[in-house]
Structure 1
Amino acid sequence: MAQTKPEKTVEWQGRQVPVWPMRTINYDLLLSQDPEEVDKVLKACLEDGYFQLNLDSIDGRRMLEDREQLLKLMNRFFDAPLEKKNEYGLIDSHLGYEPVGNRTGAFGAGSKDGYEMLKVSRDEIQQGSPRVPSPIKNSGDLHQLEQVIGSCNTITKVILAALSTGLGLAGKDRFENSHRNDRPSATTLSMMHYLPAEVTGQHKVGHQKHTDISSLTLLFSDQWGLQVRPPGECGALEMGFVEPKKNCAFVHVGDSLRFASGMKFQSCIHRVVPFDPTEHRYSIAYFLRAEDDTMFMDSEGRYVTAKDWHDQKFKAFTDPWFYQAQAPKTMILGGMIEAGADDPEPVAAYAPPPVQAPA
C-alpha cells in the first residue's frame, strides 16, 4: 500500500495536507486466524507499520462499549483540580500523571506538548491497592480500568499471534512468548487530554513526531489530529492525517516489535496536531510492551533489554529539545528513515475557524 501520491487531501494551516489511507483489518476474522486476514495484517506491518482494526463484531463490541465508559471516567478525572490529578505525580515512566508542557511539542524546538496524560500500568492495576489518583480510586473506576486493560491485552495478543503465524514462527520464537501476562513489563494504558489552543497558547501544541516505545499500540480516538509519515524506498513520505473510522481502532507497530522481527516490520512515525484548535481532544492508547528482560538488537546494532530501551527512549522524550537533537535518531524515530521537511511551526497563534473533516 506504500504510496507516493495521496488520493485525498484536507486543508490545514492554510495548505493542502495528505490524508493517507490505512488498511482495515477485521478483528473477528483475525481472532479465527483466517489465513487471508493473517496475510493482510502481516503485509500491513511489513509495508506500512500501521493499520485500522475493525472491532464491529460480537467479539470486539465489548471493547467499544468499554471505551465509551472510559471516556466518561477520563472527563471526570481531567476536570478534577490539578492537585488531585497530580496526587502521586509521575511515579514511573509508565505510571502516573503528567501535566501539560512536560515534553517537546508537535513543532520541534521551542514548542512544548499540549496534552495532559494519566498512565496506568498493567502490572500496577493487578495489585491490591494500585497507585491511582483519588478522583478515580473507587471500586467502579478501578474495575473499569481493569476491564479496558484486559480487553486491550486480549486484542493486541490476537494481533501478535497472527503476526507470529504469518512469519512462520514456532515455539519459543513466537512473539507471544516474550509478552507473557505473568512477567514484569512496562505495558501501559495511557489516557490523553489535548487542550484547546486558547488555554495552552501557541507554544504548547500537540505531541511530537516519534515512533512508539512498544511492540503494538492500540489507539482509540474519534477526533482528527493523528498524522503519520508513510515509509518509502527513498525515505518516508510527507506527514499527513489519517481519518478516524467508526468502530475502529488505530494500531501502530512500535520499536520493540520491529527489532524483534529483525527489522522486517516498519515502525510507525507519527505525531498529533490540533486539527481543530478550539476543541478538547481525547485519546486512549494501550501500549503492549515486551517483558522487561526481553533481549533484542536495536537499530544501532546494540543488544539491549526491552526495559533498557524503554527507559532510554523515555528519557529522550522528556529531555529538552537541545539534548534530543544530539541523541541518536534511533531514540525518537526508532531508526526509521525519513526525508523531507515538516512544517516548522503553527501559522496562527491561537484558533483559526474550525475545519470541517471531509465527509
Structure 2
Amino acid sequence: MQRSFGINILQLLTLSSKASTYQRIFTFRHPKSNMVVSSSRLPNGTVIDIAQIDKINLAKLEFGNSKEIEKLRSAAESDGVFYLDFHGSEMGNLLFQQLGEIYYLSQQYFDQDEASKMKDIRSDQKSSQDRGYKSCETDQTFEMSYDELVKGDLYLPQSLQPSRHTLKYFSEICHNAALTMLRSLSTSHSPDEPFEKYHQKSKQNDSGLKLVYEPCIPKKSEVLENKHTDSGTLTILFAEQLGLHVQLADGSWGYTNSIPGCAIVHVADSLQFMSGGKLRSPVHRVTQPVDGFMKRYFLSYFLRPEDSFKEKCRLRD
C-alpha cells in the first residue's frame, strides 16, 4: 500500500528526482565510461548532472538471457553502477507491492524520540557490523540481519514487530535478486570460481536490510563530505528522492535518478576483490542538489560475503 510521507508540493518540485520536475539541457558521454550524463535544470534554475546509467532487466537475467548478462558484465566493469529493472519479474512485482509499506515503517520508526531508538543499539555485535540502530551527525539507520530475520531470531522494535513477515519477505526478495545478479556475473566473468561460492546459505554472513533516514539540510554548502565505497558484494538501493551522487570513471560526478519499478545497484569492494579488480566498486556519496530541509528516506539491501571470505582477504593482505 502506497502512503504519503509528508512532503509538500514545493519541496517535491524543488528536490524530487522524478523526470517531470526538471528540464534536460544537454547530454554528453564521458570518454572513459559507458555512463552518459545529462545536464538538467531544476525548477529553481539550478543545473545538475544526472547520470544516465545502464538499465538491467532482472527477468531477463532470471531466464539466462545472454545479451542481458553481457550488458550486466559491461556495466559492472565500466561504471560499477546501474539500474535494476524489476518489470517482468514475478519476485520484482511482489517486491514493489511491499515497497510503500517498508517506506512507511521506516518513517514511523525514525519519527520516534531518540530515547526509544537508543534502546535498539546492538551491543552484541562487532565494530564492523551495522546491525540495529545507529546514528551520526548526518543520518540515522536501522539494519536487520538477513540471517536473523529469516531464522526468526531477530529482535524487532515494537513499531516494526507487526510487520515482521513483510520485512522478512522483502529481504528475501532482495537477497534472491542480488544472487541472481551474482550468478549472472559469474557466468560471464568467473565460471571456474563462481562468486556465489562465497555466499552460501549455510555460512554466516552480514547481509541485511537497512532503513536509512538522511534528511536534506537547510544549506547545501554545509553537507558533510561522505564519499566512500561499500565494503560488501552488491548494494541495492531504493531512493525516491535525489541524493546518491556517483563518481564516474573520469572523476566527475552525477546524480542517480529515481525510475519507477527500478532500484539502483552498485558493485562493492568484496566483489571487486573477487574479480581481481575487473569489476568496479564506485566511489559515491549522499548529498543534495539545492538548499532546503526535507525529510528523506532510503532503503538499502547489502549482499555481503560469508565470514570465511573476509578472513581469506585478511590472510592475503
Does the 8 Å contact 1:115/1:207 carry over to 2? no
- Percent same amino acid among aligned pairs? 26
Question: Hey, what's the Cα distance between the residues in 2 that align with 1:204 and 1:122?
Answer: 35
Map of 2:186 onto structure 1? 164
Does the 8 Å contact 1:24/1:51 carry over to 2? yes
Q: How has the CA–CA distance of structure 1 residues 243 and 128 changed in structure 2, closer, same or farther, with 3 Å as cutoff?
A: closer
Map of 1:49 onto structure 2? 80
* Cα deviations by residue, 1:262-290 (Å, 9 ceiling, x for unpaired): 10111111111123533211111101011
Map of 1:130 onto structure 2? 154
Question: Hey, what's the Cα distance between the residues in 2 that align with 1:7 and 1:174?
Answer: 33
In the alignment, does 2:199 pair up with 1:179? yes
Q: How has the CA–CA distance of structure 1 residues 167 and 69 changed in structure 2, closer, same or farther, with 3 Å as cutoff?
A: same
Q: How has the CA–CA distance of structure 1 residues 210 and 297 changed in structure 2, closer, same or farther, with 3 Å as cutoff?
A: farther
How big is the shift at 1:143?
Answer: 1.1
How big is the shift at 1:15?
Answer: 6.4
Map of 2:18 onto structure 1? none
Query: TM-score scaled by structure 1?
Result: 0.72
The one of 280, 283, 287 aligned to 1:273? 287
**2:163 alignment partner, SS class:** helix
Where do residues 1-359 of structure 1 align in structure 2 (5 Å cutoff)? 3-4=30-31, 7-10=37-40, 16-59=47-90, 60-91=92-123, 92=125, 93-101=129-137, 114-136=138-160, 138=161, 140-170=162-192, 173-198=193-218, 205=223, 208-232=226-250, 237-275=251-289, 277-294=292-309, 303=316
Q: Which runs of 4+ in 1 moved over 6 A?
A: 12-15, 201-204
Map of 2:8 onto structure 1? none
Q: How has the CA–CA distance of structure 1 residues 10 and 296 changed in structure 2, closer, same or farther, with 3 Å as cutoff?
A: farther
**1:19 alignment partner, SS class:** strand
Question: Hey, what's the Cα distance between the residues in 2 that align with 1:40 and 1:8?
Answer: 21
How big is the shift at 1:132?
Answer: 2.5
Does the 8 Å contact 1:51/1:251 carry over to 2? yes
How big is the shift at 1:11?
Answer: 5.3
Question: Could you list the runs of 5+ residues in structure 1 that have no partner in the other structure?
Answer: 102-113, 305-359
Question: Hey, what's the Cα distance between the residues in 1 that align with 2:283 and 2:36?
Answer: 17
How big is the shift at 1:194?
Answer: 1.5
Query: TM-score scaled by structure 2?
Result: 0.80
* Cα deviations by residue, 1:10-37 (Å, 9 ceiling, x for unpaired): 3589964422210000111011010000
Residue type at the aligned position of 1:186: D
**1:8 alignment partner, SS class:** strand
How big is the shift at 1:56?
Answer: 1.7
**2:147 alignment partner, SS class:** helix
* Cα deviations by residue, 1:127-153 (Å, 9 ceiling, x for unpaired): 4441322322x2x32111111110001
Question: Hey, what's the Cα distance between the residues in 1 that align with 2:240 and 2:67?
Answer: 28
Question: Hey, what's the Cα distance between the residues in 2 that align with 1:32 and 1:271?
Answer: 33
Q: How has the CA–CA distance of structure 1 residues 207 and 34 changed in structure 2, closer, same or farther, with 3 Å as cutoff?
A: farther
How big is the shift at 1:253?
Answer: 0.1
Map of 2:3 onto structure 1? none
Does the 8 Å contact 2:210/2:301 carry over to 1? yes
Residue type at the aligned position of 2:172: G
Q: How has the CA–CA distance of structure 1 residues 166 and 209 changed in structure 2, closer, same or farther, with 3 Å as cutoff?
A: same
How big is the shift at 1:188?
Answer: 1.7
* Cα deviations by residue, 1:224-281 (Å, 9 ceiling, x for unpaired): 111100124xxxx212212121110001000000000010111111111123533211
Does the 8 Å contact 1:87/1:134 carry over to 2? no
Q: How has the CA–CA distance of structure 1 residues 163 and 81 changed in structure 2, closer, same or farther, with 3 Å as cutoff?
A: same
Question: Hey, what's the Cα distance between the residues in 2 that align with 1:79 and 1:210?
Answer: 27
Q: How has the CA–CA distance of structure 1 residues 290 and 7 changed in structure 2, closer, same or farther, with 3 Å as cutoff?
A: closer
How big is the shift at 1:202?
Answer: 7.2
Count matched residues: 280
**2:227 alignment partner, SS class:** strand
**2:106 alignment partner, SS class:** helix
Q: How has the CA–CA distance of structure 1 residues 14 and 134 changed in structure 2, closer, same or farther, with 3 Å as cutoff?
A: same
Question: Could you list the runs of 5+ residues in structure 2 that have no partner in the other structure?
Answer: 1-27
Bigger drift between 9-18 and 29-38 goes to: 9-18
Does the 8 Å contact 2:235/2:267 carry over to 1? yes
Residue type at the aligned position of 2:277: M
Question: Hey, what's the Cα distance between the residues in 1 that align with 2:224 and 2:101?
Answer: 24
Does the 8 Å contact 2:50/2:255 carry over to 1? yes
